[in-house]
Amino acid sequence: MVLKIFFPRCCNMADSGLLIGHWLPGQDSAVVLAVVHYPFIPGQVKRYLSQLQNESRVELAVLGSWSMPKEGQEGMESFLRDLSTIFPRGRWLQLSREMGKRGFTCQVVHRDGELPRGEGENCKGDNGDGGGVIFIHYDQRKSQPLFLTDKYDDGPLKLTHWQSEGREASIIVELAKQASVPLCLLLTWLLSLWTWLCSSRLLNLPPVRLVSSKLSTCVQLSYRTEHLQTVSSPKRALGHAEFMRKANIFVSFFVDVALGLLLISWLYRENRISRLANTLVPVADRVAKELQELLQWLMGAPAGFKMNRALDEVLGRFFLYHIHLWISYIHLMSPFIESLLWYMGLCACLGLTFALSVLSDIVALLTFHIYCFYVYGARLYCLKIYGLSSLWRLFRGKKWNVLRQRVDSCSYDLDQLFIGTLLFTILLFLLPTTALYYLVFTLLRLVVVLFQGLIHLSVDFINSFPLFAMGLRLCRPYRLAEGVKFRVLCEEPGKPLHLLMEINPLQYGSVLQWYRTPTYNCYPKDSWAALCKKLFVGELVYPWRQKGTKTD
């Protein structure tokens, strides 16, 4: 077994003295934490160690001696060697440096046999005793419990150990810490008031719930409430993951609000709202006009196809009437649109995500007619497809058994077959007309869904992007460690191996993956194939949710 000695880099140039640290049980390795300098009284060291051990709950021991050659301290070596009798231990390490050399030499003295084992000279060439020593130099980064008590230099002992580089912006941080507790309490109280308001009976009526679950602003609102509840809980974050989650939410909340305020400052200047409102109504009008023209085109002979005249006319008139209704509705609304926009724009001060959600909702409301057309077309088309498929089964002498959920064979009468053939012919010849209407309106609907999807994706991105973790990775890469990596430091003949242990920072991709705030799932759950199949069969896609399939 190879003996591993973890040696802090700050103690490289320390004066001679004793090594303090602890043995890792079962791993044959020792971790050096500090060096006690030469003028000391052994009894004092023991008392000091037990005191530290009580305070920090880290098992501490005197590992061995450390000698750094200096002028006027020639007798030191033998003195330090004799110390091993004072501090009883299983093994006693004797580390020493020589002038002008980078490597250390190490001797291990066993208490029982008093035999030097694994000398520096031995572990290079022949390896007869099957052991050696590796020095692993490491940087102490995080303050261990041992170093929380910053009182080393006050006592009678002089030590070299790791020291923090001071706390950053400590006054501001302390003030913020003091202020955060009442702020959190206030926020929690406000949030509880808000949730109580939300859970009142009036808002939980079925129609209100249905509408609010479809409006992305409401979804975002509930989501933000949940986030703020997480952040403002006065309990301390228990683990690293929870802390990072809180910090990420906090930072993204602030960035979101800042972006929203920026948007407001841009929007409410130079009369931009009224200009926007003035363009919005003509645009909606224009869309309706274009739709009307499209319907007129469909009612004729689109692209040279000959449709069923009667059905074509019926469908076209139905949709035209719908558009007419829509246009009058828009005109009724137009005087109020500007003030409506003005008030809605105010919710951008809650954050950019809210502004985007409101935009998504406005788009959804303004293109409601397209959605209606799509639903009508899809229902009609779906009906025909189902009729055709069941009649196709009739030709093959089969039928769908509802009770057993399978296709059974069945013998039909002549009359049934006759009627079935007639119906099948009619449906088949009417199918192209319906399919055309369905196709056109589905394409229109898909354009709208694509636009809304883009907005939702950006909202989701702002909500879930781990800004704090990314910043931490950028500025303090050692705080987010994936593991360690080793580098061979120096090799001088006749010296044990020296390795440098460094922290291997987490890759950016895995930072994103680990610290992403989980959000409500706005991504489509269907695969592309499933989506295409749904479109082909005429089932409604987003945002209609079918009730779960009936199962017995």
Partner 1 sequence: MADDEKFTDINGKVIFLACQNHSSFCREFTVSAPKVSLRHIMMYTCSVWLVAYIVFFLTENTAVLSGAIFVTLVGMLLHIHFVKIDHETLLIIGSLGVQVSSSYASGRESTTFIEMSKIKDIVINEAIYMQRVIYYLCILLKDPSDPDTLSSVVPLFQSSKPRLNCLVKVYQSCQEILAQC
Q: In angstroms, give the least distance from the CB of 491 to partner 1.
A: 5
Angle at 299 between CA 297 and CA 300, to 5 degrees: 70
Please tell me the distance from the alpha carbon of residue 541 to that of residue 335, in angstroms, as a whole number: 34
Q: Which helix (H) or strand (E) holds 485?
A: strand 481-490
Q: In angstroms, give the least distance from the CB of 19 to partner 1.
A: 20
505-544 binders of partner 1 (CB under 8 A) = 507
12-51 binders of partner 1 (CB under 8 A) = 28
Give whole-number Cα distances, 520 to 133, 136, 294, 539, in Å: 54, 46, 37, 24
403 binds partner 1 (CB under 8 A): no
Q: In angstroms, give the least distance from the CB of 403 to partner 1.
A: 48
483 binds partner 1 (CB under 8 A): yes
Q: Which is nearer to partner 1, 132 or 345 (CB)?
A: 132
Please tell me the distance from the alpha carbon of residue 515 to that of residue 471, in angstroms, as a whole number: 12
Which H, E and C letters describe 186-216, residue by residue? HHHHHHHHHHHHHCCCHHHCHHHHHHHHHCH
For partner 1, what does the binding mask look like between residues 94 and 133, x meaning CB under 8 A? -----------------------------xx--x--x-x-
Q: Which is nearer to partner 1, 21 or 496 (CB)?
A: 496
Q: Which is nearer to partner 1, 43 or 483 (CB)?
A: 483
Quick one: which segment of 5-13, 105-113, 184-192, 499-507 binds partner 1 (CB under 8 A)? 499-507
Q: Which is nearer to partner 1, 333 or 489 (CB)?
A: 489
Quick one: which segment of 233-241, 265-273, 456-464, 478-486 binds partner 1 (CB under 8 A)? 478-486
Give whole-number Cα distances, 535 to 447, 521, 530, in Å: 14, 22, 9
175 binds partner 1 (CB under 8 A): no
The answer to whether 40 and 157 are in contact (CB under 8 A) is: yes
Q: Which is nearer to partner 1, 55 or 482 (CB)?
A: 482
Pick from 368, 400, 486, 544 the residue near partner 1 by CB under 8 A: 486
Query: What are the residues facing 481 on neighbouring strands?
Result: 505
Q: In angstroms, give the least distance from the CB of 229 to partner 1.
A: 38
Site size for partner 1, by CB under 8 A?
22
Please tell me the distance from the alpha carbon of residue 7 to that of residue 2, in angstroms, as a whole number: 16
61 binds partner 1 (CB under 8 A): no
Please tell me the distance from the alpha carbon of residue 420 to that of residue 402, in angstroms, as a whole number: 19
Residues in Cβ contact with 315 at an 8 Å cutoff, skipping those fewer than 6 apart: 433, 434, 437
Pick from 497, 506, 511, 517 the residue near partner 1 by CB under 8 A: 497
Pick from 488, 518, 547, 550 the residue near partner 1 by CB under 8 A: 488
Q: What is the identity of the amino acid at 3?
A: L
The answer to whether 515 and 479 are in contact (CB under 8 A) is: no
243 binds partner 1 (CB under 8 A): no
Alpha carbon dihedral 256, 261, 264, 265, in 10-degree steps, equals -140
322 binds partner 1 (CB under 8 A): no
Residues in contact with partner 1 by the rule CB under 8 A = 1-2, 4, 28, 123-124, 127, 130, 132, 134, 136, 483-486, 488, 491, 496-497, 499, 504, 507
